[in-house]
Structure 1
């Protein structure tokens, strides 16, 4: 199976403009994401998809694959769909978040393995929620999955609601999952979902995967134990830098 890893990257982020080009211990964030994605053995190729000339040139500078896309796309999925039309011959596409410089290649492989099942058209990752802070953080989307490991619903609210249980005891009475924002699409499915109109659920929660569920699509879920560190706002940089420096220090010790 040929799988293409696409890293959507745009300069004009509302919360953090220019985020892909920030320096993280000597490398731009987009370079770090790219290098991590290249380590995933499940991917035949990796490409950055951007609408910005600065990002385009930065990727070229570290000899990465990059393609210019339209600036009109509203989501990373739409940007992936444009790339899939230009780079043909792939059975599936993995949409890799451009703000996770420490993304674990094994997570990419785990998601790619979902497409070994011919019935899988869409896939994503989830992780068990371990803390109260995560559970009640509206910036952390929660997921309900069924016994077939299909996602039933995503919400920024805590779902499900536990009747007669105090919120402080939720984690002791139910296994909650959070969404890890990496997606996989069967290539034939990507064109279909990118043409869907935004529905009421997506407008309400501002989560694009609800558009697919509202249209009757199945989203296969794989459970990861690995944490992901994303840079959403400038305040996240120090936490990620600390993790990068710790990894570098460990490598030096091993050598």
Structure 2
């Protein structure tokens, strides 16, 4: 099974512009992410896909593989789909550029999901982590996911899902971690479809897959990495490195 990693890297992030080039322990966030993906040794190749010469130069300066986007893209899946469309690959893993501390165990679980999927039921797989802090649950920057009894995603939302109406029933909340593994054909099919209504409303690309009938297997992990979505997240990441 030919598995490659793609790291979509857009410079002009809405919530925290230029976040991928912010200094983290002496090197840019995007370089941390690229090197972390390499160090897992799970991939035949690792690429950064970007529209930014600044990001491209940072990766090339450490000897990394860079693909420049030819078009403007609304989401990471579209960006990597353009890059991978004519590549030889079975599974494409989308490693978010703002996840500098992603771990090999979680990535390995995603890839293993396809290895044991003998009936090819899974179009893509992604990660979820249980959260219990009220602030985390209510934070719209944390995308929540609910699944069916077989671990397939039913819906993603920035709102609190599920709504805990009956307090006598135990409810668990899960945050979606933005790391995906795709069968290549599912990724390319996504790329050639228009943005769907709920995806546009929530600004969550995973919803497009659900709206067009794709099956997303959610893999639970207990590793809570630090995604760099805000300046506060960057401060947490810097503090994490100091205490590591």
**Into which bin does the TM-score normalised by the smaller protein fall?**
over 0.9
- 1:233 corresponds, among 204, 227, 230, to 230
Give ranges in structure 1 of 5+ residues lacking alignment: 248-255
Counterpart CA distance in 2 for 1:144 and 1:112 is 21
- Which residue in 1 is equivalent to 2:27? 27
- Considering only CA atoms, is the larger Rg found in Structure 1 or Structure 2? 1
Provide, for residues 28-70 of structure 1, a one-character-per-residue CA deviation record: whole Å limited to 9, x for no partner: 1111001111122321111100111111111110111111112
Alignment of 1:133-212 (within 5 A): 133-165=135-167, 173-212=170-209
In the TM superposition, residue 223 of structure 1 has moved relative to its aligned partner by: 0.4
Shift >3 Å, 4+ stretches: none
- Which residue in 2 is equivalent to 1:115? 114
- Which residue in 1 is equivalent to 2:90? 91
Counterpart CA distance in 1 for 2:19 and 2:53 is 14
Counterpart CA distance in 2 for 1:203 and 1:92 is 26
Counterpart CA distance in 2 for 1:176 and 1:12 is 31
SS at 1:79's partner residue? Answer: helix
**Aligned-residue CA RMSD in angstroms?**
1.5
Q: In terms of mean alpha carbon deviation, does 110-119 or 146-155 score higher? A: 110-119
Counterpart CA distance in 1 for 2:105 and 2:64 is 21
2:104 is aligned with 1:105: yes
Provide, for residues 201-253 of structure 1, a one-character-per-residue CA deviation record: whole Å limited to 9, x for no partner: 11221111111111111111110010010111222221101111222xxxxxx
| Conserved? CA contact 1:111–1:124, under 8 Å | yes
- Which residue in 2 is equivalent to 1:251? none
Q: When you count helix as a share of all residues, which structure comes out higher? A: 1
